Chains A and B, each alone.
Chain A
């Protein structure tokens, strides 16, 4: 069985650099202040796994987790 990925943004760490939204617009949303949260329930649709890891490795605040379920 293939593993399912979920993304999660720690709201206390996010400072609104918006790198995740630029790199993986399908997986993240921004609020009115430009701070990020995961889109929907954070489940990464098949084919977008690479974007999830890219967003994580480019977050300057280390605010993004990619969870393998």
Chain B
């Protein structure tokens, strides 16, 4: 008897160009040579897996799709084995198409401007230092599990006005939604229900005791007609802010530290020239972009000359676009003072990441505070680096030796 909730087994990939699978362990460990192979074959490749899925491999093809919401819908944004039933207000505006996308996005933009992020910066520096205090004396640390993981979750919890001490609960939901749900839809439903219940309780509390956090902001928001948002919209946007704000930046900070642990020359230069950190952050975002979004083809069209058929998903790999040598000279090298860098780590077009200013601030602060206090660190040869699977790529175990322990 088969158990429908059992994750489907994926046979190992032997033909990357015609049968790619972004959940294959080879891809999860080291996707870069695979992307090069796919790009050399075609600007758009296809797999029968995941009920049919295209992947644009070049910067131009990714840009074309990102700027074409008419043919490529955002109603499904994760490539999974199944196509979960469509729900209205799943996670607006990331799951919204025009014309409902724009007002939903405009609602979320003001709290995330660069100026708004500057006000949050002192709290971020304190969070980073509190985390470092917790392990610096040990001489070794899993920097993913004890540092990069907790910076964004505490930041978004602070903005939403929910307890930073609930961080592990939030991280578990995100793991279920972004990783486990690729092969097991029941994990998605379970996490969404738990999150919605959590936020409903928070909303109830604020009805009697209003606050000045993002939950109250969304509860009090009005649409163009001056009407309050539907509850499903408020809940959907709250789920989005929590999901999108956490393992994305966790991954970006982790990948950056992973690079610096393996590249002493870059580390020493950033310590000597801390003014270069913002430029280096852009390059680390390009080289190790964490986020791959998806689209669903809703109308037949062509991309970079390749026909694409409705009903297929698209693995919209901003990370692969950012490694396209036609767009970036020495695309496979990390050049921390790269001057021209129109990378697409935060997406392109109308779905540009709402939290990009927050993520940039968090990355800069996380690297600045780490390098100030821990200038010397290296990968621990006794440990293993592991990487997440699927929509967001970043180190989940990052064993380091610190300072004198090296």
Contacts and interface: CB of A to CB of B under 8 A. Distances in A.
Interface of A: 15-19, 21-22, 30, 32-34, 54, 57-62
Chain A interface, DSSP helix/strand/loop, else mixed: loop
Given A17-B346, A22-B360, 5 more contacts: A17-B356, A30-B115, A32-B113, A58-B341, A60-B352
Given A33-B106, A34-B357, A54-B339, A60 B348 contact: yes
A19 B360 CA distance: 11
Q: Which 8 residue pairs across A and B have the least CB separation, nearest first?
A: A15-B352, A33-B109, A57-B340, A34-B113, A60-B342, A32-B110, A18-B114, A34-B109
Contacts of A30: 113-115
Contacts of B278: 22
Contacts of A34: 109-110, 112-114, 357
Candidate in A17, A22, A59 with the most chain B CB atoms within 10 angstroms? A17
Interface in B88-126: 106, 109-110, 112-115
Contacts of B357: 18, 34
B340 A33 contact: no
Given A15-B350, A22-B278, A34-B109, A62 B114 contact: no
Interface of B: 106, 109-110, 112-115, 278, 282, 339-344, 346, 348-350, 352, 356-357, 360
B87 to A, nearest CB: 26
B342 A57 contact: yes
Contacts of B113: 18, 30, 32-34
B248 to A, nearest CB: 16
Nearest to B338: A58
18 contacts: A15-B348, A15-B349, A15-B350, A18-B114, A21-B114, A30-B115, A32-B113, A33-B110, A34-B109, A34-B113, A34-B357, A57-B339, A58-B340, A60-B342, A60-B343, A60-B344, A60-B352, A61-B348
Contacts of A33: 106, 109-110, 113
Contacts of B350: 15
A58 B349 contact: no
Nearest to B356: A17
A54 B337 CA distance: 13
Contacts of A21: 114
Contact of B352 (A16, A22, A57): A16
B114 A17 contact: no
Contacts of A18: 113-114, 356-357
Nearest to B344: A60
Contact of B114 (A22, A57, A58, A61): A22
A18 B356 CA distance: 9
Contacts of A62: 342
Contacts of B339: 54, 57
Contacts of A15: 348-350, 352
A32 to B, nearest CB: 5
B156 to A, nearest CB: 17
Contacts of A16: 109, 352
Nearest to B357: A18
B114 A59 contact: no
A58 B110 contact: no
Candidate in A15, A18, A57, A62 with the most chain B CB atoms within 10 angstroms? A15
A21 to B, nearest CB: 6
Contacts of A60: 342-344, 346, 348, 352
A15 B357 CA distance: 12
A14 B147 CA distance: 34
Contacts of B282: 58
